[in-house]
Copies of this chain bind each other. A is one copy, B any other.
Amino acid sequence: MGDEIPFFHKVEVPPKQTLFQEFKHNVKEIFFSDNPLSKFKNRSGSRKFVLGLQAIFPIFEWGRGYNLKTFRYDFIAGLTIASLCIPQDIAYARLTNLDPQYGLYTSFVTPLVYAFMGSSRDIAVGPVSVVSLLLGTMLKEEISDFKSHEYLRLAFTATFFAGITQMALGVLRLGFLIDFISHAAIMGFVAGAAISITLQQLKGLLGIKNFTKKADIVSVMRSVWSAMPHGWNWQTIVIGVAFLVFLLITKYIARKNKKLFWVSAVAPMVSVILSTFFVYITRADKKGVSIVRHIEKGVNPSSASEIFFSGKYLGAGIRIGVVAGMVALTEGVAIGRTFAAIKDYSLDGNKEMLAMGTMNIIGSMTSCYIATGSFSRSAVNFMAGCKTAVSNIVMSIVVLLTLILITPLFKYTPNAVLSSIIIVVVLGLVNIDVVLLLWKIDKFDFVACMGAFFGVIFKSFEIGLLVAVVISFAKILLQVTRPKTAVLGKVPGTSVYRNIQQYPEATQIQGMLIIRVDSAIYFSNSNYIKERILRCLADEDVQRIENEFPRIQYLIVEMSPVIDIDTSGIHAFEELYKSLQKREVQLVLSNPGPIVMEKFQASKLTDLIGENKIFPSVADAVATICTKGQEL
């Protein structure tokens, strides 16, 4: 039994776990992989309470070390994002087909809640373009008359259930579910949404009155085209294009010189003020330039009683809420993670969900619609040097002051300038370099990205998202269905065996064939792997006989990458063993992992193959075969 060979070790089976231990371990890894309770161990009762409070409201944790110096940074960042968020809020509310004040309401309440509960220090919370358009499109499919009170009530209902969805995901610790939407898919989805939103804004920018209600590119372009001869309004176009050019220039300046980021941050506010003043003195609104007209003054009214908890719109509210809530969550968490990675702190996905869920539930009762982390404002927040979520509080207070004091001043703001603001923001989300990189690195990611992109622009948001998720999954399944195998050879001068395609100098051993299986072996691939190994053996045998090498007597299957196996896989190994026996080839296994060894023993496969034919490494197997030969 190989004990003459100094480096021979038996392949060991780890101590068997009871079913309960195994189950507990699996549950822990899925739901509590971050081990959230470790902090609570060995603490007194009152300390546990404080820690629990801090876990739910991180502000009590970082707030204790908060000082005036930090506040100075947060104050400046807060003012900057406030000047950006006010015009955006008014513009995004239009995407949702709601009156402009609802955008401002949202930017007042939700950042306050987030500041107490969120764990990101950089994201700026409020209405965002993608979610606003998604919500607007889905609401209009249910209730086409968006001036009706039902429409507004359905918006609050959807917001409420979006919050419930997000909170439920956090409480049930299902944070990992949003990992299922790949980065590539999000890129495509956002780019598609950006194009889609931009095209929608042609309505405002060109002053078109009769516009399609659909969001796909074909309907929109047809609308624009058919309105061409008389439907366009040149005064609107002049205002819109002028400020579009202005915003693009400020953006260009900010990109060239990172220190001048505030130029592009305050540009929307400047545009709104200038254009409002211009329309007011020229009375361009009498010449067909569409204006905001009226914004309600005062703080958020309560809307708790407006939410549908029964009736025919309840189902629609839940459906829209779940979809929009998931999209909002994905975007918010992705943005939060991006900035957390830059500053190297960790973001707790489940905690973020809880925070966003709570803020949307409270929002739905205070006349807000779905809010999440905004990419454009978070980036400005970060660049302006924010330190904590206090910048969100500052922004919220500025919005409050705006609501109380100056909303009537926005009466003459032309819609065209709001369209320009939206276009400039969303076009910034299209990142061609990243898409090119996807193409270079991983073609499948590129396809997922393009699938989401074209799904959104040609069909709808939901279809785009669905396409992306399906393609992402197809990739995983394909890899598990048609895994790779590699023929190994000995790297000269070492005892290491490597893929002969990757290491052309690696040489095969006479009389043996060494194959590595590069995947877990499951029902979906067990048959394929078995047949592939047999085919490889047959091909190799023919080749060796042609070259007058001895025929293959030993098949060594290197199992290091085989991290798991199921009953179908074990069945396939039994069949492989029988087929090899008929061909007078010995089956030798190298380095099966702990789980695989356990299952081999449970199924008595180790007895069938022979424990003396299972080695801890290929080198061991080869050395033993060379020494003992036929005795094995």
Contact = CB atoms under 8 A, between A and B. Distances in A.
Given A33-B482, A344-B579, A346-B531, 19 more contacts: A7-B493, A7-B496, A9-B503, A22-B443, A33-B531, A179-B525, A179-B528, A341-B578, A437-B603, A444-B566, A475-B522, A476-B477, A476-B524, A479-B520, A483-B563, A498-B616, A502-B594, A518-B563, A561-B561
Contacts of A12: 502-504
A606 interface: no
B183 A523 contact: yes
A122 interface: no
Interface in A556-575: 560-561, 563-564, 566-568, 570-571, 575
Nearest to A480: B476
A501 interface: yes
A563 B561 contact: yes
Nearest to A561: B561
A70 interface: no
Given A30-B478, A473-B477, A184 B438 contact: no
Contact of A441 (B9, B502, B535, B599): B599
Nearest to A180: B524
A201 B483 CA distance: 45
A440 B602 CA distance: 6
Contacts of A616: 491, 496, 498, 503
Interface in A490-544: 491, 493-496, 498-499, 501-504, 518-520, 522-525, 527-528, 531-532, 535
A453 to B, nearest CB: 15
A518 B593 contact: yes
A182 B442 CA distance: 29
A560 B590 CA distance: 14
A29 interface: yes
Nearest to A477: B476
A407 interface: no
A524 B448 CA distance: 14
Contacts of A524: 179-180, 182, 472, 476
Nearest to A603: B441
B441 A501 contact: no
Nearest to A591: B498
B566 A442 contact: yes
Interface string A341-363: 10010100000000000000000
Contacts of A40: none
A445 interface: yes
A311 interface: no
Contacts of A283: none
A301 interface: no
A375 to B, nearest CB: 17
Contacts of A480: 476, 480
Give chain A's interface residue range (CB within 8 Å of chain B).
35 or more
Which 9 A-B residue pairings sit nearest by Cβ, starting from the closest? A182-B523, A561-B561, A518-B563, A502-B594, A7-B494, A183-B568, A341-B575, A445-B567, A442-B566
A293 interface: no
A47 interface: no
A19 B473 CA distance: 22
Given A179-B525, A183-B567, A523-B182, A495 B498 contact: no
A481 interface: yes
A351 to B, nearest CB: 14
A142 interface: no
B33 A532 contact: yes
Given A503-B12, A599-B442, A481 B560 contact: no
Contact of A523 (B14, B184, B518): B184
A493 B180 contact: no
Contact of A184 (B185, B443, B567, B603): B567
Residue among A344, A346, A564, A603 with the highest chain B CB neighbour number at 10 A: A564
A484 interface: yes
B341 A179 contact: no
Nearest to A493: B7
A45 interface: no
Contacts of A176: 481-482, 528
A476 B521 CA distance: 10
A563 B501 CA distance: 14
Contacts of A479: 520, 563-564
A29 B482 contact: yes
Contacts of A568: 182-184, 445
Contacts of A473: 477
A374 interface: no
A536 to B, nearest CB: 11
A185 B523 CA distance: 10
B9 A494 contact: yes
Contacts of A481: 30, 176, 179-180
A141 interface: no
B9 A491 contact: yes
Residue among A183, A344, A616 with the highest chain B CB neighbour number at 10 A: A183
Contacts of A494: 7, 9, 617
A566 B528 contact: no
A547 B566 CA distance: 40
A589 to B, nearest CB: 15
